[in-house]
Amino acid sequence: MTVILVALTLTILSQGVISSNLPIVINTWAFIDAANEAWKVLHQPHKTALDALVEGCSTCERLQCDGTVGYGGSPDEHGETTLDAMIMDGANMNIGAVAALRHIKHAARVARHVLENTQHTLLVGDQATQFAQTMGFKKESLSTPASKEIWQKWWHDGCQPNFWINVNPDPKSSCGPYKPSPNYNPLSEIDKEKFEFGSKNHDTIGMIVIDSSGHIYAGTSTNGANHKIPGRVGDSPIPGAGAYADNEFGAAAATGDGDIMMRFLPSFVAVENLRAGQDTTTAAQNAIKRILKHHEKFMGGLIVVNRLGEIGAACTGIDKFPYSVAFGNQTKAKIEYIDC
C-alpha cells in the first residue's frame, strides 16, 4: 500500500525571524462552508477559537455535509441516525464529547456544554440526550425522507453490507437476528470494500482552529458509519483518535474508517510525533504507517498543524483527500487536495 504525503509549509521569514501564519482554520474534506464560517467567527469581536470551532462544525451539521455529518444521514440497522462530536482545548487538555447522541441535532454544541458545564469527558446515548435537554436543546427526530430511503434500500437488499462477523445465520445473505457462531474465527474481517469508504462514507468532519495568540482547539462531528450496528461509536468522539490538541506542539484531526482508527489513536500519535521533533509531514506519515502495518486496506486521511501554522497531511486508500484551510491574512478558505 502506497501512502502519498503532502506538506504545506506556511511560515514566513521576516528579518530573520520565523512568523507563523496565525490565525488558522483547517478541516478535513472539501467542507469549505464550515471553514469559512469558522474563519468569519474567529475574526469577530469578542469571539474565540472555541466559538469558531463550534460554529464551523455546527455549520456542517446543519448543511448535512456529504450526508456524513449531522441529522438525516448514515442510518443504523434500525434506521436511526445518531451523532458523535468532540471538542478539545489545547491549553488545559480538557475535552467535552458526546457519542451515540439520539434525537438532538446539535452535537457539537452539546459537546461544548460537556466541556464547559461538567467535569466529565464523554456522555453517551439516551443519557447524553437527557443532558442536552437539561442544557436547553430540543428533542426531535434525526431521520429524514432521505435517510429513511437509504435504510429501506439497504433492508430490501438483504441488509447488505453489514458489520457482523462470526454469527449465524450468514450475515452475507441474511438480515438476522444473529447468534454467535460456534465456529468462531478470530481472523474474520468485514469486507470493508463493500462499504465504499470515501467521499460519501468517510465518517466525520475534523477541524482545527488556532487563534493569533496560539490557543488551539480541535474537534469533530459525525453521524457515524452507514448501517452501523446500533450503539456503535467510532473514532470521532474518542480523544486522540478523531482529534487531539496541545498548545505546546500542535493538533491533528483524522477521518476515514473509524473502527480502525480508534485502535491506533492517530491524532494523538501525530501530536506526539511533533513533540518528538518531527515536522508535520513526517508526523502525519508515521501516524498513518502505524495503521497500515496491521491494516493494508485501511482508508483514511490525517491533517496535522503545528503551533506555528505549518500543515502536513497524509492519506491512503482513496483517490484524493481534500481539506479546507484559511490562514493569515486570507479573506476566505480554499480547498487543497492530496493524491493518494
Q: Is beta strand 205-210 parallel, antiparallel or unpaired with respect to 179-180?
A: unpaired
Reading the block at residue 199, the C-alpha cell is: 467521499
- Rounded CA-CA distance 275/287 in Å is 13
- Rounded CA-CA distance 114/122 in Å is 7
Mutual angle of helices 125-134 and 107-117, in 10-degree steps: 80
Reading the block at residue 322, the C-alpha cell is: 481534500
The sign of the dihedral angle between the CA atoms of 68, 70, 74, 77 is: positive
| Residue listed under C-alpha cell 514566513 | 12
Contact 300, 257 (CB under 8 A): yes
What is the number of alpha carbons within 13 Å of residue 90 lying toward its C-beta? 30
CA 287 remoteness from chain centre: 16
- Rounded CA-CA distance 20/12 in Å is 7
Active site residues: 204
Torsion angles phi and psi, residue 176, rounded to 5: 85, -165
- Rounded CA-CA distance 165/56 in Å is 37
- Rounded CA-CA distance 282/101 in Å is 35
